[in-house]
């Protein structure tokens, strides 16, 4: 991966995954990309909005949420649940 290379990323303006160009890097890490559709520069999001390509942590959080019922706090029987 080098400056100017093509990269897929999620564009918040286009609200979808689009073709981007790498505009800023730190070592091997892509820092900033520019959307080729709307030409806006933004931090590289590693295409995070794509649910089918979850990172390990996102996958873990997803599994954890399904186990705990997406309630971060421990449910207390004495308290009423807020909906």
Residues that bind Zn ion (CB under 5 A): 11, 13-14, 35, 37-38
Nearer Cβ to Zn ion (5/61): 5
Q: What CA–CA distance (Å, rounded) separates 25 from 44?
A: 10
Using CB atoms within 10 Å of the CB of residue 46, give its burial: 0 to 12 exposed, 13 to 18 middle, 19+ buried. middle
Q: What CA–CA distance (Å, rounded) separates 19 from 4?
A: 12
Nearer Cβ to Zn ion (41/61): 41
CB of 62 to Zn ion, least distance (A): 26
Nearer Cβ to Zn ion (14/63): 14
């Amino acid at each position: 991966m080098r400056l100017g290379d093509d990269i897929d990323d999620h564009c918040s303006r286009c609200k979808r995954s689009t073709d981007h160009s790498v505009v800023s890097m730190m070592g091997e890490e892509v820092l900033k990309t520019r959307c080729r559709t709307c030409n806006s520069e933004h931090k590289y999001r590693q295409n995070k909005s794509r649910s089918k390509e979850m990172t390990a942590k996102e996958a873990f959080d997803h599994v954890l949420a399904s186990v705990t019922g997406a309630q971060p706090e421990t449910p207390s029987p004495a308290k009423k649940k807020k909906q």
